Amino acid sequence: MGYGNVAKVLTIAGSDSGGGAGIQADLKTFQELGVYGMSAITAVTAQNTTGVHGVYPLPPEAVAQQLRAIGDDLEPQALKTGMLFSSDIIETVAAQVRAYGWRRLVVDPVMIAKGGASLLREEAVAALCRSLLPLAEVVTPNLPEAETLSGLTIRTYADRLEAAERILAYGVKYVVIKGGHGEELDTSVDVLYGADTVVEYAAPRVATKQTHGTGCTFAAAIAAELGKGASVRDAVSVAKSFVQAAIEHPLGIGSGHGPTNHWAYRESVR
Ligand SMILES: Nc1ncnc2c1ncn2[C@@H]1O[C@H](COP(=O)(O)OP(=O)(O)O)[C@@H](O)[C@H]1O
Ligand SMILES: Cc1ncc(COP(=O)(O)OP(=O)(O)O)c(N)n1
């Protein structure tokens, strides 16, 4: 069997030396969901399950050159962004996405790692909203990120809807507000909003601290499914099942917030 028609999917994100989040989580997810993974690295982090110990952004030109190398030879059917760090890197990425006409972009608006380290400068939020969200098909904020993007405090379900409407106004087609941070609930509910769409994806909340990289994994799974031609609704459904399996069957490695298990979904659908 040949693989000439395999979907090619690109991640533009930071490197996590510990392997649980960032580029490493994205490429593992792509492989598990049967797409060919490519990467453009925006920053190198020295990171493990105990936290982020160093952040080294790449020069914007290094990001641009990686994207041109991919764009000139390996057209992606879908792509996702993760840690982008600065407005310069965001503007560089947006310019290349426009230049190559890349569609099916998932923006994971990564801001702060679970341990509290900043992965996006405050000055970069405006560039994210102004330059990248209008190019995106889906944006996947967690609750604090949705608050930052919308300028609202989110307490109720109605607040989530209002925040989603404000985020959609930047020009993105769909927003998924993830519920992982709603720790008082016994389900973790992610809600997909579009112009005429509200869809809830609920799963039992797992009592674990091994959730490092859940957001990256979720967004990467959406991008993989979009790359194969899925609708946004179906892509989010697969991503929810993928991340749930990954959280329910942790690897048990590291002494802090351990990584999820990227093999678990494939093993569960066998
Ligand atoms: N303890 C948990 N149990 C079940 N699902 C979870 C848990 N924590 C996060 N998730 C899911 O993982 C994905 C990422 O969520 P979230 O933690 O909100 O994002 P981030 O990692 O960007 O902070 C979402 O699908 C969310 O519902
Ligand atoms: C390099 C890098 N990128 C993104 C993140 C954040 O990942 P996320 O999936 O939101 O997981 P936590 O950091 O919340 O565990 C990261 N840590 N590193």
Atom 11, ligand 2: residue with shortest CA distance: 213
Which amino acids are annotated catalytic? Answer: 178, 211, 213-216
Give 95 Cα–ligand 1 centroid separation in angstroms. 31
Question: What mean pLDDT value characterizes the chain?
Answer: 96
Q: Residue ranges per domain, the chain?
A: 8-265
Per-position b or e across 57-96, b if 16+ CB within 10 A of its CB: bbebeebbebbeebbeeeebbbbbbbbbbbbbbbbbbbeb
Q: Indicate whether residue 113 lines ligand 2 (CB < 6 A).
A: yes
Res 260: pLDDT: 97
**Residue 267 — pLDDT band, cuts 50, 70, 90?**
confident
- Which class is domain 8-265? alpha beta
Is the predicted pLDDT of residue 160 greater than 80, yes or no? yes
Q: Indicate whether residue 179 lines ligand 1 (CB < 6 A).
A: yes
Q: How remote is the C-alpha of 140 from its chain's centroid? A: 6
Q: Indicate whether residue 257 lines ligand 1 (CB < 6 A).
A: no
